[in-house]
Amino acid sequence: MPAAPAAPDTSLVRRARKVDRVLAETYPDARCELDFDNAFELLVVTVLSAQTTDRRVNAVRPTLFAAYPDARAMAAADRERLETIVGPLGFFRAKSESLLKLSAALVEHHDGEVPARLDDLVALPGVGRKTANVVLGNAFGVPGITVDTHFGRLSRRLGWTTETDPVKAEHAVGALFPKRDWVMLCHHVIWHGRRCCHAKKPACGACPIARWCPSYGEGPTEPDVAAKLLKTEGPA
């Protein structure tokens, strides 16, 4: 029988949870930045958000779901019309194909409804673990950790994990926090990654969690310089 994984260091747990508390205070409005009204809409917009911004996806959402409000309607969509609607997002042929296959699978295997189980979600065409965790956490209230590029970058900068594999990082970071905190933890970290802890030049000198960050100094530490790097919103 394989040995159980070692429990995380107590000091690391305390530091990680303190960081999350400060981020919660810093971003009290943190949430999923994709607009949606139900699980189907969230699944679709999350799939569409690959290689584009949430803001662009939100812009096409009203037209998309006015035309195709559910999986049955989208599975029967005219391909050219669907491509026209999602065209502003780029890769419109591939994305349209993904939506058609995804919707058809929902109709065929789940009576048109979005399943609320991880194994069922990742079995759907074009749905990976990251997308599944977004849907589970935000549409169904099922605890999960969404390791997108921001979450992965920050979890390594903060010393929570050294893993670059998203699944391994998900498990490593999850061990530091109670399950009930996982969904909001992701929102806090992702908002911070989009607004302050940027990939190329983090705003270290204006960072609210700088004192607990082992990577402090990767970006400008002068407060006035760092402040100019802050963003008030997610990516345009």
Dihedral sign, Cα of residue 159, residue 163, residue 165, residue 171? negative
**At 181, which helix (H) or strand (E)?**
none
Which position among 148, 165, 181, 201 bears the catalytic label? 148
Q: Could you confirm whether 111 is annotated as catalytic?
A: no
Active-site position among 54, 95, 130, 181: 130
40 in Cβ contact with 61 (< 8 Å): no
Residue 130 known to be catalytic: yes
36-62 burial string, b = 16+ CB within 10 Å, else e?
A: beebbbbbbbbbbbbebebebbeebbe
Cα–Cα distance measured from residue 23 to residue 196, given in angstroms and rounded to the nearest whole number: 11
Q: Are 122 and 146 in contact (CB under 8 A)?
A: no
From the list 17, 21, 7, 56, the residue with the least C-alpha distance to 35 is 56
Catalytic residues: 130, 148
